[in-house]
Every structure is written in C-alpha cells, then in structure tokens.
A and B are shown apart, each in its own frame.
Chain A
C-alpha cells in the first residue's frame, strides 16, 4: 500500500515538474512536508546532499524518501515513478507532437509564463527554508515573521 502511495505521489511530481535543478524544489517541498515524509530540516539537508552527489536533485530526493518509507523497493519504486511521466510524454512527443508544434516555438511560448513562475516558487522555497535555517535560530521568538498566518485571513 505504501508502495502504491509512493508511486502515485512521485508520478505526480514527475508529471508537474517543468525544468530542472532547483526549479523542482517547490513542488517536492510541498509534497514531502505536507505528508510528513520529511521534516523541514531533513529537506534542507537533502538539498545539500543532492547538490554534492551526482544525479538530478529530484531523483536523489525520490530515492531517499522512497528508501526511508519502504526500504530498497521503496527507493526503486519512487525513482521509477518520478521518471515514468517523462518516458511516456517524451515518447509521445517524439512520435506525434514534434510534427504539430516546432520545439523552439513551443519553448518560447511556454517559458514566457513558466520561467517567472519558477522564480516566484523558488523564492517561496527559499522563504520557508531560510526561515527555519537562518531566521528562527537567530530570532527564536519572532513569530510575527511567519507570513502563513495571513493564509487564515482568506
């Protein structure tokens, strides 16, 4: 059951990640932290570890969380689930869509909106992580800094 859940979540992350490197972080952060699969501190530690080991950060995190939750089979399942959408979509694109939409054209159109959104989302990741890594260790009582209290107003 946990394997199925791991597959579903990492498939979703693979499907909705566009780009690479640190642009994959906001979605991973939200999915991992909201499920309690990683703590804030562990997530930051994994960024550091992923940056200093070979392999894309998304793949590294999938392997790590998969192993954590369901040992070796979990690591393999989570990693496969993360790559599965790419394999399906890219094969489809290579077969069908490349004829319909010239790649350079598609990229220009898409990136106009996606890239700035990535900047906003990475800023969010930094905001959340910076808070727990830098700000609160220095000013432990500064609860007002937590902007998420505003979420309750809406």
Chain B
C-alpha cells in the first residue's frame, strides 16, 4: 500500500512539472505504467473523449444560441462571474505560492512583461522555469 501511495504521488509530481495539461499527463502516465505505449494512448483518448463529445454538441448549437437576446443577456452576466472566478483563482494561487520577495518579483515581472511588453506567455514560462531552477540551486547549494 505504501508503495502504491508513493507511486501515485510521483505520477502527480511528474504530471505537474512536465509540459502539458496535468489531467492529460496523469492519464498518459497511468496508462503507460499499466499498458505501455498503447495504454498511454488509450488512457489519453479516454480522458479527452467526453470533452470531445460534449463540447462538439455545444458547438453545434452555440452559434444559434448566440443570436438569442436572452442568451446574450445571460452571458453578459456570466462574463462578470468568470472575471470574478479569475480573481478568486489568482488570490488562491497567490496565497499558496508567494511566500517571499523572489515570488513577488516573478509575479510582477511576468505580469508587466505580458501586459506592457506585449511578450508571448511561452518565453515567460520558459524563463521562469529556468529562474526557479537557478534560484533553487543558488539558495540550497545544489542540494
């Protein structure tokens, strides 16, 4: 049992750190461990199929819905709610993440680079990963 628990934690840790959406990474990883490359492909396909079906159905009707005045008004309200949802995500993440000056510095530079500098998120993601690794080594002497 202890082995299984540790294995699951490792799956999740790798899925978080590796490129790709966590949910897909975890599905691929578990699939690979249980059934090799074929298992990885099948598990991933299983993971995305519900989205594929449900969202395709929604997409078919979405254009027609959009023209409806009541739907338009409903979405005007929903957009405000989504905006608040993002604030909630930011505050939750901030509490979990920003514990020192280093964190604040990265938040501020990522935000200002993308808003004022107009830089794409990709180089920012790569640079912040590199900075995190270097910072980790510098502080703990490579331990």
Residues of A within 8 A of B (CB): 12, 14-22, 24-27, 30, 41, 44-45, 47-51, 53-56, 58-60, 63-64, 67-68, 72, 75-76, 79-80, 82-83, 85-87, 89-91, 93-94, 98, 103-104, 106-127, 129-130, 132-134, 137, 147-148, 150-151, 154
Main secondary structure of the interface of B (DSSP, over half): helix
Contact A64 B14 (CB under 8 A): no
Within the complex, what minimum Cβ distance (angstroms) separates B137 from chain A? Answer: 8
Contact A58 B28 (CB under 8 A): no
**Complex-state Cα separation, A115 to B120, whole angstroms:** 17
Which residue from B87, B105, B118 sits with its C-beta under 8 Å from A148?
A: B118
Total interface residues on B, using CB and 8 Å? 84
Main secondary structure of the interface of A (DSSP, over half): helix
Contact A90 B106 (CB under 8 A): no
Contact B125 A20 (CB under 8 A): no
Contact B94 A119 (CB under 8 A): yes
Given A79-B48, A98-B14, the answer on whether A115 and B114 have CB atoms closer than 8 Å is no
Within the complex, what minimum Cβ distance (angstroms) separates B83 from chain A? Answer: 4
Which residue from A48, A58, A67, A107 sits with its C-beta under 8 Å from B21?
A: A58
Which of chain A's residues have a CB closer than 8 A to the CB of B40?
87, 90-91
Interface residues in B89-132 by Cβ distance below 8 A to A read 89-90, 93-94, 96-98, 102-111, 114-118, 120-122, 124-132
Contact B124 A63 (CB under 8 A): no
Contact B114 A121 (CB under 8 A): yes
Contact A53 B133 (CB under 8 A): no
Contact A55 B133 (CB under 8 A): no
- 5 extra A-B contacts, CB within 8 A, seeds A113-B133, A117-B106, A133-B82: A68-B59, A89-B18, A90-B14, A98-B14, A122-B93
